[in-house]
Amino acid sequence: INGSSEFLNSIAMGLTTFLFNRVLLVYLGSAGVAAFAMVQYLLMFGSVVFIGISIGSQPILSYNHGAGLTTRVKGILKRLVLASALLALVFFVVLRNQSAAMIALFIPDHPETAYLTMQAAGYISWALLFMPVGIIGSMFFTSLEKAGNSLIVALSRGLLFTVIGLLIFPQLWGEIGIWVTPVFAEAVTSIVTIMLFYRWITGAREAALSQVPEPAIQTE
């Protein structure tokens, strides 16, 4: 049960890729599918780092949670979020400024696809700024055996908001709506995750206060 969110993430990745490809074929044809795949490759440089940080933190989080060291768990979460946010900003700046050079390495002789890829990268690169929160959140709650919270984050990021975006945004803005969908999914997932973080921190604080022994009342 505790690993169900990671299982769902793997399934959702294949499903959402299929949905993106179908929508792209309708609006842009095979060039759009190639452009989206290229942008996904560029985003992968950042996402694999965030996943690696999250997986590497799992033993530390689990150990301190099992030991009842909630203050340490909070400190680890804070460091994870800050470090990942800084890295996300670096990846975002690099992708915004070097995407043309990276795209030219893979498709130098296809100007139409290169143009679409540049357009897609201009929108989808904003997803990098929100991506770490959802990735860390899912792994964090799995480490604490909060399977329900982890599943909510996984569903939000991997399936729910992506499907909503693909159903609505292309109808409103055409091909731009397709590029905006990953940003929408990551941004709303980050809001949901932050709310779950806040609820967990508040619950941990209340639990700690309830365990403080009441002062003894001295009687004459």
Tell me what pLDDT residue 215 has: 54
Give the pLDDT of residue 14: 86
Residue numbers in the chain where pLDDT is lower than 50: none
Enumerate helices (H) and strands (E) in the chain, giving the number of each: 8, 0
| Distance (Å, whole) CA 76 – CA 61 | 7
Predicted pLDDT of residue 207:
78
Q: Report the pLDDT value the prediction gives residue 101, as an integer from 0 to 100.
A: 85
DSSP 15-27: HHHHHHHHHHHHH
In contact, 163 and 85? CB cutoff 8 Å? no
Q: What is the pLDDT of residue 213?
A: 56
pLDDT reported for residue 135 = 93
Token reading at 148: 């329900």
DSSP E strands, the chain: none
pLDDT for residue 216: 52
CA distance 83 to 4: 27
Q: Tell me, what's the pLDDT at 218?
A: 56
pLDDT of residue 201: 92
pLDDT of residue 174: 92
Q: Which whole-number Å values give the CA distances from 108 to 6, 19, 62, 96, 147, in the listed order?
A: 37, 27, 47, 19, 46
Q: How many CB atoms lie within 10 A of CB 203?
A: 11
DSSP string of 161-205, one letter each residue: HHHHHHHHHHHHHTHHHHHHHHHHHHHHHHHHHHHHHHHHHHHHH
Show contacts of 23-28: CB within 8 Å, 24+ apart: 23/166, 23/170, 23/178, 24/178, 27/170, 27/174, 27/175, 27/178, 28/116, 28/175, 28/178
For residue 49, the model assigns a pLDDT of 93
